[in-house]
């Protein structure tokens, strides 16, 4: 059995990189793991974007999850929040409760975690390890120029509503695991569920172009409502325009809509932007290699809410259940 300190050192501290210096001032040395606190500062004229997420066994992942995938996902869901603000990831802290110090598990978990962290120049700067039921809590820090963050309260009447990538694969993967439907030959639903890709480059590219933005973690319907409520606006959305993979498209209509409109764990971005930004967004989609799809508009007036339509423009009455940790699934 490894002691707490050798465990932290072996799997995490040795692989932690020092946060990069952001000021010329010699006194502003950043400080990583090993003291009571880490010390960082955003570049001059920037703010620090901060998000925290806690992942619990049986709720956010299955007990038999591949630990490499879990290390990836635990950081990915946090980086997705940073992306949704248009911030650039810089550092993170990791608090970990483990039922036992299983070296093979820790090796794979830390490999998955650091592979993603290194791709995004995101340094582990602090943490805590304890024994207890498996629980992973990551807090992540990003930089964004003052005033440039993509907030939820900035949607305006007349804006287009956009989503990145495709929606519904993660929920479809969960349904296949649960036996609600069968996954078609060769489809990658499990990868969508376990290896979400945070849209970091897209979020940064949307600074100054998009108005409001968030990441879709709990399902499009519920998450879009956060933008609408905070911006005090109403949306009209074409449910059939919501982009999905061929495998999700092949599901029965009710299942497809449940996956695309209310499925959680997608971590694509949903954002609003003025009509004049369409050409700029086409260029951004090409540059960051992520498809962007226009799915609706912010209406000129009306109370916060979503008017769903189908491809023919006919109104749809949908009963969708979003993801809520304190409701039964």
Question: How far apart are CB 24 and a copy of itself at their closest, in Å?
Answer: 11
Residue 256 CB, nearest approach to a copy of itself (Å): 26
**Residue 215 annotated in ligand binding:** yes
**Could you tell me which residues come within 8 angstroms of residue 79 by beta carbon, excluding any fewer than 6 positions away?**
89, 116, 120, 122, 140, 198, 200
Q: Which is nearer to a copy of itself, 94 or 236 (CB)?
A: 94
Q: Which is nearer to a copy of itself, 57 or 299 (CB)?
A: 57
User: In this structure, what are the phi and psi dihedrals at residue 236, rounded to the nearest 5 degrees?
Assistant: -115, 125
- Residues numbered 98 to 117 that lie near a copy of itself (CB under 8 A) are 101
How many degrees, rounded to 5, is the angle at CA 69 between CA 103 and CA 221? 145
| Contacting residue, 13, 18, 41, 320, with a copy of itself by CB under 8 A | 41
CB 200 within 8 A of CB 86: no
User: Which residue pairs from 258-261 have beta carbons closer than 8 angstroms and sit at least 24 positions apart in sequence?
Assistant: 258/171, 258/320, 258/321, 259/167, 259/168, 259/169, 259/171, 259/172, 259/175, 260/167, 260/168, 260/220, 261/167, 261/219, 261/220, 261/221, 261/308, 261/318, 261/320
CB of 47 to a copy of itself, least distance (A): 5
Residue choice 15, 195, 230, 309 for contact with a copy of itself (CB under 8 A): 230
Residue 275, SS3 per DSSP: helix
Give whole-number Cα distances, 63 to 59, 60, 135, 147, 192, in Å.
9, 10, 11, 42, 18
Both structure tokens of 149: 């963050």
Judged by CB under 8 A, which stretch of 88-96, 155-163, 178-186, 299-307 contacts a copy of itself? Answer: 88-96
Return the H-helix or E-strand segment holding 6. Answer: helix 4-11
Instruction: Write out the DSSP string of 194-243.
Output: H-----HHHHHHTTTT-SSEEE-SS-HHHHHHHHHHHHT-EEEEEGGGS-
Q: How far is the CB of 215 from a copy of itself (least distance, A)?
A: 6
Measured from the CB of residue 201, what is the shortest distance to a copy of itself in angstroms?
16
Comparison of 54 and 115: residue with beta carbon closer to a copy of itself: 54
Which of the stretches 77-85, 162-170, 257-265, 281-289 binds a copy of itself when contact is defined by CB under 8 A? 77-85
122 touching a copy of itself, by CB under 8 A:
no
Q: How far is the CB of 278 from a copy of itself (least distance, A)?
A: 24
Residue 111 φ/ψ, nearest 5 degrees: -60, -45
Can residue 305 be called a binding residue for a copy of itself (CB under 8 A)? no
Task: Give how far the C-alpha of residue 278 lies from the chain's centroid of Cα atoms, to the nearest Å.
Answer: 24
Strand 269-273 and strand 213-215: the pairing is antiparallel
Query: Does 303 contact a copy of itself by CB under 8 A?
Result: no
**Residues 126-165 interacting with a copy of itself (rule: CB under 8 A):** 126-133, 135, 137, 139, 141-142, 144, 146-149, 151-153
Q: Is 9 a known ligand-binding residue?
A: no
By CB under 8 A, the residues from 47 to 66 that bind a copy of itself are 47-54, 56-60
Q: Does 286 bind a copy of itself (CB under 8 A)?
A: no
Nearer to a copy of itself, 21 or 188 (CB): 21
Q: Torsion angle of alpha carbons 96, 51, 108, 204, nearest 10°? A: -170
Residue among 25, 64, 246, 276 that touches a copy of itself (CB under 8 A): 25
Q: Is 81 annotated as a binding residue?
A: yes
Placement of tokens 């879009």 in the chain = 224
Question: Min. distance of Cβ 312 from a copy of itself in angstroms?
Answer: 34
Q: CB of 232: closest distance to a copy of itself in angstroms?
A: 14
Annotated binding residues for Mg(2+): 36, 51-53, 81, 128, 215, 218
């Amino acid at each position: 059995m490894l002691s707490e300190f050798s465990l932290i050192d072996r799997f995490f501290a040795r692989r932690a990189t020092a946060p990069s210096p952001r000021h010329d001032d010699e006194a502003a040395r950043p400080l990583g793991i090993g003291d009571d606190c880490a010390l960082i500062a955003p570049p001059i004229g920037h703010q620090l974007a901060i998000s925290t997420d806690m992942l619990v066994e049986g709720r956010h992942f299955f007990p038999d999850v591949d630990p490499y995938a879990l290390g990836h996902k635990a950081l990915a869901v946090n980086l997705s929040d940073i992306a949704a603000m248009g911030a650039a990831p810089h550092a993170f802290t990791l608090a970990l409760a483990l039922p036992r110090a299983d070296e093979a598990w820790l090796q794979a978990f830390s490999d998955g975690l650091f592979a993603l962290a290194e791709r995004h120049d995101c340094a582990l700067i602090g943490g805590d390890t304890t024994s207890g039921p498996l629980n992973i809590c990551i807090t992540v820090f990003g930089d964004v120029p003052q005033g440039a963050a993509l907030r939820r309260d900035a949607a305006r009447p007349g804006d287009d509503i956009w989503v990145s990538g495709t929606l519904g694969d993660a929920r479809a993967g969960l349904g296949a695991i649960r036996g609600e439907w069968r996954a078609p030959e060769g489809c990658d639903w499990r990868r969508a569920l376990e290896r979400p890709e945070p849209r970091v480059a897209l979020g940064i590219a949307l600074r100054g172009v998009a108005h409001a933005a968030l990441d879709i973690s709990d399902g499009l319907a519920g998450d879009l409502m956060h933008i609408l409520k905070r911006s005090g606006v109403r949306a009209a959305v074409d449910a059939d325009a919501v982009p999905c993979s061929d495998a999700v498209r092949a599901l029965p209509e009710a299942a497809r809509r449940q996956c695309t409109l209310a499925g959680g764990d997608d971590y694509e971005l949903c954002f609003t932007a003025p009509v004049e930004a369409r050409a700029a967004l086409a260029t951004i989609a090409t540059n960051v290699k992520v498809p962007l799809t226009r799915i609706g508009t912010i209406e000129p007036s009306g109370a916060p809410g979503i008017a769903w339509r189908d491809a023919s423009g006919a109104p749809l009455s949908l009963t969708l259940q979003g993801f809520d940790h304190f409701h039964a699934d």
